[in-house]
Structure 1
Amino acid sequence: MTEPAPTGDAVTVIERALRDLDVEHTRRDRGEFLVTLPGTNRLQTQCWLLIREHTLFVQAFVCRQPDENHDGVYRFLLQRNARLYGVHYALDRIGDIHLIGRVPLHAVTAAELDRILGQVLEAADGDFNTLLELGFAASIRREYAWRSERGESLANLRAFEHLFT
């Protein structure tokens, strides 16, 4: 049976891995890292890496609670959970959507951290427009109408053009 890595070892592994991965990050307290992952659909995703007694806790905010179509959003999240590696979608106490995961400290390696952060980025960035479309379609349509009336840029609404016809 493998013994859990001491907290100090995990801190060193994470620091070295984040540096080697060239990922923007800030170390808060000992064992607390805020990682900023660049995206395409979302400009960035911030992900906490928090070392606890026996695990590395991973948490990233994805989007606020949906305005509408809660059943559709939650169905999507549950189905998506079946295909995620190392993290899963969860709701906080007010209904906002997060990706969370736990990795045993003895399993924290540079390669595993790369896989976990890659999955966080792929899910948060890749699912973002789908979540917006499912849970905020009416707001997107209102924003489109408001911008159209005023001649404002519609550039960041292009992904949702199919909602406007």
Structure 2
Amino acid sequence: MTTTTSAGAGVAGRISETERAFLDEVITKALDDLELTYEHPGTGSFLVTLEGEHKLRTMTWLVVQDHTLLIEAFFMRKPAENVAGTYGFLLSRNAKTYGVHFSIDRIGDIFLTGQVPLTAVNADEIDRLLGCTRTYADENFDPAIALGFAQAIAREKAWRAKVAAEARAARLTQQ
């Protein structure tokens, strides 16, 4: 794809505004047809909300770049413990993923990221990519949290048990 400069010469590797607008329409129609909630802050940029059962919401960016469609979804914060075990668990999942894979940023937070060529962008591919993102986030969230935040989960369970016991005791003394 090329962009024409004001002098009329094409610049290799840059998507034209016409092509960007066309892809924007394709993505908008696909998201509307899928009945997904999304924000559209600018041409070629979409923030899609994917609803799940374990990971209740996965906020996913779709961004039209010069050569590819970027898919990026926040998965979870950097693990508080068992960092290598958590990253290893998710890295082992990458061998079986389509379109997106687990990755980390410079501070260790975990994302699902991917890129597909702009020539592959159509309604079916948008559906497939978002479906994979939702599935990978939802299926791997509980095990990843259990690995990376086991002590925090144990403290939360102990606190909830204590509060429940205190509430039971208070009800018994009122009777």
- Normalised-by-shorter TM-score class: 0.7 to 0.9
Give 1:62 shift: 0.5
Task: State whether structure 2 residue 63 is matched by structure 1 residue 50.
Answer: yes
Report the Cα offset of residue 30 of structure 1. Answer: 1.1
Distance 2:25 2:65 in 1: 14
The structure 2 residue matched to 1:138, chosen from 139, 146, 151, is: 151
- 1:118 is aligned, of 123, 131, 136, to 131
**Alignment pair present for 1:35 and 2:48:** yes
User: Are 1:128 and 2:141 an aligned pair?
Assistant: yes
Q: What SS class does the counterpart of residue 74 from structure 2 fall into?
A: strand
**What is the Cα deviation at residue 149 of structure 1?**
0.9
> What code does the residue aligned with 2:140 have?
D
Shift of 1:146: 1.1
Number of aligned positions between the proteins = 150
For the Cα contact (< 8 Å) 2:27–2:123, is it kept in 1? yes
Match of 1:94 in 2: 107
- Is the contact made by 2:100 and 2:114 (CA closer than 8 Å) also made in structure 1? yes
Q: Distance in 2 between matches of 1:52 and 1:61?
A: 19
* 2:66 pairs with 1:71: no
- Per-residue deviation at 1:45? 0.8
Q: Secondary structure at the match of 2:99?
A: coil
Task: Provide the rounded CA distance (Å) in 2 between the counterparts of 1:64 and 1:39.
Answer: 18
When the two chains are superposed, the root-mean-square deviation of aligned CA atoms in Å is: 1.6
| Structure 1: 4+ residue segments shifted above 4 A | none
Structure-1 separation of matches of 2:50 and 2:133:
9
Q: Give per-residue Cα distances to partners, 1:67-106, cap 9 Å, x unaligned.
A: 1111211111111000110001100111000000001111
User: Which runs of structure 2 are paired with 1:74-85 in the superposition (5 Å)?
Assistant: 74-85=87-98
- Identity between Structure 1 and Structure 2 (%): 47
Q: Residue 53 of structure 1 aligns to a residue in which SS?
A: coil
Structure with larger Rg: 2
> Could you state the TM-score of these two structures normalised by the residue count of structure 2?
0.82
Q: Would the aligned equivalents of 2:20 and 2:43 in 1 still touch at CA under 8 Å? A: no
Q: What 5-or-longer segments of structure 2 have no aligned partner? A: 1-12, 166-175
TM-score normalised according to structure 1 size: 0.87
Q: Deviations over 1:106-164 (max 9, x none)?
A: 11010001010000000111100010111111110001111111129xxxxxxxxxxxx
